[in-house]
Amino acid sequence: MANQQTSASWSSGKSLLRHGDVPFRIGTVVLASAVVLLVIAIAVIMVNASQEARQAFGLDVLFGTEWNPIETEVAPPAFGAYPAVRGTVLSALIAILIAAPLAIGIGIYLAELCPPSISTPLSFLVELLAAIPSVIYGVWGVFVFVPFFNTVFAEPVSQSFGLVIPWLAGPIATGRGIIVTGVILAIMILPTIASLTRDVLRLVPNTQREAMLAIGATRWEMISQAVVPYASAGIIGAIMLGIGRALGETMAATMLIGNSQRISESLFLPSTTAASLVANELTNSVSSLHESALITVALALFGITLLLNLSARLLIWYVERGNRGAK
Amino acid sequence: MKPSTNYRWRKLVDQVMRSATVVATGCAVIPLVAIIAYVIAIGGTAMSASFFTDVYQPPDLPTQSEDVANEEVPFNPDDPFANLEVPAPENADGGLAGESDEMQAVADAYAAGPRGGVLHGILGTLMITGIGLLMALPIGIFAGIYLSEYRNERLATVVRFSSDVLSGSPSIIAGVVIYVVVVLQTQQFSAIAGSMALAILMVPIVTRTTEEMLKLVPEAMREAARGLGAPTWYSTFTVVLPTALPGIVTGVMLAFARGAGETAPLILTVLGSNVITMSMFEPMAALPLLTYRYTESPYIGENTLAWGAAFVLVMLVLIVNILVRLATRRVGVTR
């Protein structure tokens, strides 16, 4: 290496200075590898700890409908986390259906339409909100949003549409349930999706915009036909990251979904999510099988968020690279 | 010339959609601002001297009246329910003495204002997060240096991806892993286990910001150091790191703020406590845990404390982010 030769001539007497590069490189490589090892260790530990339940039940741990940790005379212990899987998927689905259009709108506004004097503070606000701890959203949800949501949305809807559509049926008892959790999750993932959307939109080269405007397009035609399609892979990536965050969110879900193992058809009624199931039961687990089943649920969550993250990163990276090619 | 219908239609679509993005931004900003406003407004009322100096005080429930509590009926196998029929002393007006008073006192206790404070939570959060940060710093900073100084190696891609996996995986995963490895093995919930779980979550933040900040250091500075004959390690520690130091410090502060607000991993590792504990090998209190538990509490006073603890956490996040904003702006200028 060229710099090693120069360093040799510079300090021929100071061997530490000259040979410092070797320990430096070893040190950085070892500590950087620790990050990789951490991920591998997490996976290995969870696979090992979940072995008992996986061998006993196989995929039924995730798709069985009976969750009964305590053995009684009438019911043997059973571990089927379908209620939690269902609650997780439905609440994340509601969250993304609300958050994605809004967040894309915000991303477009921040990147394309709004004057810089608004853009900077607004971007700061959005980033700040992504940094607020999830337990805060939980507190606000429990004390402020749930009562508000019940009087404004849940009660009227369950008494009108709910009479016809069983998904929206009442009665609203505590007010905690899948829909209200989904709405809070939507608020939580909005900043994530919006700021990533803004970032990928800013990567779109100006030639795209200029070409479109030059042939007489309106601003919106330019955005919808030349800017967004160019960045679409990145926007999909941002949405996937949002889904990942909604699926794995623990505290807000635990505090708002009601933590009930019953499968109720109505989305206004309490349910549970995978993460809140683990948070509620792991420290109180009654048997090693129970513990192992909960860790299997956590492992599934880890696997799914890992896949989502991997594909999202690939999509965003694809847009970034495409931009470099176009310049 | 009159504009064609087609043109007017396109113009209309343009205006409608552009306004729609403004409406979307408004829809999103309102709840977000509302959260901060509520936390400041309600949490602010919980602020008092005792909030910061006192620990948990149990609700002021009335003790059972003495004549009832002291009366022990010996167990009689012929009449096993005898001790349930505690003779109630009668009031002057014939009603049950003490009962309405007692119920009133219970109701008062539920509705009473906050008692005690969260000093144990503040100290616990500082200790757990601080020690977690100390664990995360060497890995995070050196991984960041590696990613920035050897950025094109194949291992760098793997490290970067692993760091993304860590930051993208749900925080409860860190709790589960430490629960299995530390809590189950030692048969003890402990603050140090919580620090380890938080360290897992803080490593990717420190790594990422260190990498980003080191990349902002102009290549010319590295070349100048090299031109003077400095080896890579020497130029990294004396030229590159000091230049990027403000940025790295802000990254560390961000990691601290993120770690201090994490709740889910602490539920599985630290468990919580009602007193000040100074041993890292025992369960400890932490602000987010108090926020969570007091929110679920039936006592109004404890609910207020939950808002207070939330207020402290939000202030921490707010202050750190504003400081980071100021610091990165300065970096942006020198760039």
pLDDT tens digits for range A231-242: 998 999 999 999
Q: What is the pLDDT of residue B47?
A: 86
Q: What is the pLDDT of residue A15?
A: 65
Burial grade of B54 (CB within 10 A; 0-12, 13-18, 19 or more): middle
Phi first, then psi: give them for residue A26, nearest 5 degrees. -60, -45
**pLDDT (average), residues A116-122:** 85
Of residues B147 and A5, more confidently modeled: B147
Chain B CB contacts of A224 under 8 Å are 17
In a domain, A106, yes or no: yes
CA–CA dist A117, B247 (Å, integer): 24
User: Does A135 share its domain with A23?
Assistant: no
Q: What is the pLDDT of residue A114?
A: 86
Least Cα separation, residue A240 to chain B (angstroms): 11
In a domain, A104, yes or no: yes
Phi first, then psi: give them for residue B72, nearest 5 degrees. -110, 120
The tens-digit pLDDT sequence of chain B (335 residues) is 666 788 889 999 999 999 999 999 988 888 888 999 999 999 988 888 888 888 888 887 776 555 544 555 556 666 666 555 555 555 555 555 556 777 788 888 788 778 888 999 999 999 999 999 999 999 999 999 999 988 888 899 899 989 999 988 999 999 999 999 999 999 999 999 999 999 999 999 999 999 999 998 998 999 999 898 888 888 888 999 999 998 899 889 989 999 999 999 999 999 888 888 888 899 999 999 999 999 988 888 889 999 999 999 999 988 888 888 877 765 544 43
A326: how many CB neighbours lie within 10 A of its CB? 12
Q: What is the DSSP letter of B169?
A: S
Dmax (CA) for chain A in angstroms is 88
Q: For residue A269, name the pLDDT band (cuts at 50, 70, 90).
A: confident
**pLDDT (average), residues A269-280:** 92
Phi first, then psi: give them for residue B96, nearest 5 degrees. -80, 125
Q: Is the pLDDT of residue A5 over 80?
A: no
Placement of tokens 């100084």 in the chain: B149
Domain region containing A36: 2-43
Q: For residue A165, name the pLDDT band (cuts at 50, 70, 90).
A: confident
Residue A165 belongs to domain with CATH number: 1.10.3720.10
* Crossing angle of helices A178-202 and A288-326, rounded to 10°: 30
CA–CA dist A180, A174 (Å, integer): 11
Report the percentage of chain A scoring pLDDT > 90.
51
When CB atoms are compared, the residue of B142, B263, B288 closest to A27 is B142
In a domain, A54, yes or no: no
User: Does A120 share its domain with A251?
Assistant: yes
Residue B249's alpha-carbon distances to A124, A230, B254, B317, in angstroms, are: 19, 36, 9, 15
> Would you put residue A244 in left (φ > 0), alpha (ψ -120 to 50) or beta?
alpha
User: Does A160 share its domain with A19?
Assistant: no
Least Cα separation, residue B95 to chain A (angstroms): 35
Reply yes or no: is the peptide bond before residue A171 cis, omega within 30 of 0: yes
Q: What is the pLDDT of residue B333?
A: 41
CB contact under 8 A, A7 and B230: yes
- Angle ∠(A47,B162,A28) on CA atoms, nearest 5: 120
User: Does A20 share its domain with A156?
Assistant: no
| Mean pLDDT score of chain A | 87
CA–CA dist A273, A91 (Å, integer): 8
CA–CA dist A259, B80 (Å, integer): 38
**pLDDT (average), residues A175-197:** 92
Cα–chain center distance at B334: 33
Render pLDDT for A62-95 as a digit per residue (tens, 0 to 9): 888 888 888 777 778 888 889 999 999 999 999 9
CB contact under 8 A, A135 and B263: yes
Q: Is the pLDDT of residue A215 over 60?
A: yes
CB contact under 8 A, B138 and A31: yes
Q: For A102-111, A276-285, B57-66, which range has the lowest pLDDT when averaged over its residues?
A: B57-66
Chosen from A29, A35, A109 to mutate, greatest number of chain B CBs within 10 A? A35
User: Does A74 share its domain with A211?
Assistant: yes
Least Cα separation, residue A65 to chain B (angstroms): 23
Does any CB of chain A come closer than 8 Å to the CB of residue B263? Answer: yes
Q: pTM surpassing 0.80? A: yes
CB A65 within 8 A of CB A253: no
B227: how many CB neighbours lie within 10 A of its CB? 11
Q: What is the DSSP letter of A198?
A: H
> Which candidate, B90, B235, B285, B42, places its Cα nearest to that of A143?
B42
When CB atoms are compared, the residue of B165, B179, B226 closest to A282 is B179
Least Cα separation, residue A23 to chain B (angstroms): 9
Of residues A12 and B301, more confidently modeled: B301
CB A251 within 8 A of CB B293: no
Least Cα separation, residue B288 to chain A (angstroms): 7
Q: What is the pLDDT of residue B278?
A: 86
CA–CA dist A82, A95 (Å, integer): 20
Q: For residue A315, name the pLDDT band (cuts at 50, 70, 90).
A: confident
Amino acid identity at B312: V
CA–CA dist A88, A62 (Å, integer): 12
* Residues forming a β-bridge with A67: A79
User: Does A94 share its domain with A147?
Assistant: yes
Contacts of A98 (CB under 8 A, 6+ apart): A182, A183, A186
CA–CA dist A324, B213 (Å, integer): 21
**How many domains does chain A contain in total?**
2
Chain B CB contacts of A27 under 8 Å are 142
User: Does A122 share its domain with A184?
Assistant: yes
User: Does A38 share its domain with A158?
Assistant: no
User: Does A99 share its domain with A16?
Assistant: no
CA-nearest residue to B13 within chain A is: A220
DSSP character string of B61-95: PPPPPHHHHH--PPP-TTSTTGGG-PPPPBPTTSS
Q: What is the pLDDT of residue B121?
A: 92
In a domain, A172, yes or no: yes
CA–CA dist B39, B56 (Å, integer): 21
Domains in chain B, ordered, with CATH? 68-111 (no CATH), 119-334 (1.10.3720.10)
In a domain, A258, yes or no: yes
Of residues B112 and A50, more confidently modeled: A50
Chain A CB contacts of B42 under 8 Å are 143
Burial grade of A324 (CB within 10 A; 0-12, 13-18, 19 or more): exposed
